[in-house]
Amino acid sequence: MMEFKGRIVAPGTVTAEAVVSHGGFNTLASLQGALQFGDKKATCGDQNNPDLHGKVLAGKALCLPMTIGSTTGGLVLYCACAMGRQPACMLFSNPIDSLAAAGSILASVWLEGIQMPVIDSLGEDFLSYVKDGMTVSVREDGTVVVD
């Protein structure tokens, strides 16, 4: 078991199974099927991300360095939350970009009963340690525990 301390972007507590990307997460390419085509599991559709392509994202602890892609990123995250197809949490090794931060913060403020805790600045050691299938818990204070 290892603990990592990050910065809280969107609050909440959760325990979920990890899915890990070592490359940038293209929000639109990854979640488009969930938003447009009714994929309730939010299967990652980004063929350029071999770590995640074809894996279920809904309800998982999405561990990643950063998001990449277009300016739709924040809206895509917000919509995934509004549709109940969001990751259980998003855990960034690097500082979060402003678009992903905006989408996750708006979802936490505007959507009643929906949460997707977001923690950033967890560090490279976090991304080196966490592996697919591990259990990840997010605490209220921004501590992330990986079992």
Distance in angstroms (rounded) separating the CA atoms of residues 141 and 83 = 27
What pLDDT score does 69 carry? Answer: 87
User: What's 121's domain CATH number?
Assistant: 3.50.30.10
The pTM assigned to this predicted structure is 0.97
DSSP label at residue 134: -
pLDDT tier for residue 70 given thresholds of 50, 70 and 90 = confident
Identify the domain containing residue 89 by its residue range.
Answer: 2-146
**Euclidean distance between CA atoms 144 and 2, whole angstroms:** 8
What distance in Å separates the CA atoms of residue 9 and residue 59, rounded to the nearest whole number?
18
pLDDT greater than 90 at residue 137: yes
pLDDT of residue 24: 96
Provide the pLDDT for residue 144: 98
Q: How many domains does the chain have?
A: 1
